[in-house]
Amino acid sequence: MKFSKLIPAIVLGLMPATAMAQNLMTNSSFEVDGPGFILFQGWENYGEVYKADSGEIIALDGSFTAKMFGPSIGSQADQVLLQQVSGITPGELYTLSGSVQHQAVAPLGNENIILIQMVFRDAGGNALEAVEQTALTPGVSPTDEWIESSVSGIAPAGTASMTVALLHIQLGSDAGFPVQGGGATFWDDFSLVSGSAPCTNPADFTGDGQLDVFDVFAFLDAYNQGCPE
């Protein structure tokens, strides 16, 4: 017996509309100045972090970007932007994404490590787990174009908040003129979104981490093929 091809069409009509995920970050494109020594509203900045306008680079979103570079002092120097995000739910999947660029006029030297990072924290601010992703690789990532990267993680039990970290680490074995540690990075258009943790049910026939009508389609297509005689 074969299932009618009308069944998927009927089910399709019952599918709910997909809503865009809400960005949990604030000032994620660095458009709003912070007070006093805080460079960007909603962010903490440490090391050589600056605001760049269209005179240096065309922003991906808005008019401004964040810029970082190492000071070449002969030892490791960390350039850091941090944002604290509250209301993080244990068991939820979180994805941090954004774009980074380095330019041909000042490309990254090999002694730079460029990372995006999520640190899950408990109610006392203690780190529970960190996940990170390399955003640019010196000598590999192309110059003069925005490179998007993302990292995802499931909030562990006890999570209450998260620290989003953007990191330009200069290892710094060469002091003075930055032969291996030179180069600047530009950062723009970041977002942090949440969603349900991936599904591990064997009925997830499409393997997309969700149980939905497309799994029904996949099952019916396989069923209608029958068994070889």
- Residue 94 sits in a domain whose CATH number is 2.60.120.260
Tell me if residue 149 falls in helix, strand or coil: strand
Whether 70 maps to a domain, the answer reads yes
Task: Give the total number of structural domains in the chain.
Answer: 1
Asked if pLDDT for residue 38 goes beyond 90, the answer is yes
- The pLDDT tens digits of the residues spanning 69-85 come to 999 888 899 999 999 99
Question: In which domain, by residue range, is 166 found?
Answer: 36-195
Mean pLDDT of the chain: 87
Question: Is residue 22 included in any domain, yes or no?
Answer: no
> pLDDT of 164-204, one tens digit each?
999 999 997 655 555 678 899 999 999 999 987 655 567 76
Which helix (H) or strand (E) segment holds residue 215: the answer is helix 213-224
Q: What is the rounded radius of gyration, in angstroms, for the C-alpha atoms of the chain? A: 23
Residue 8, pLDDT > 50, answer no
- CB neighbours (10 Å) of residue 203? 10
Model pTM score: 0.78
DSSP states of 31-83: -SBPSTT-SBTT-EEESSEEEE-TTT---SSSS-EEEEE----SS-EEEEEEE
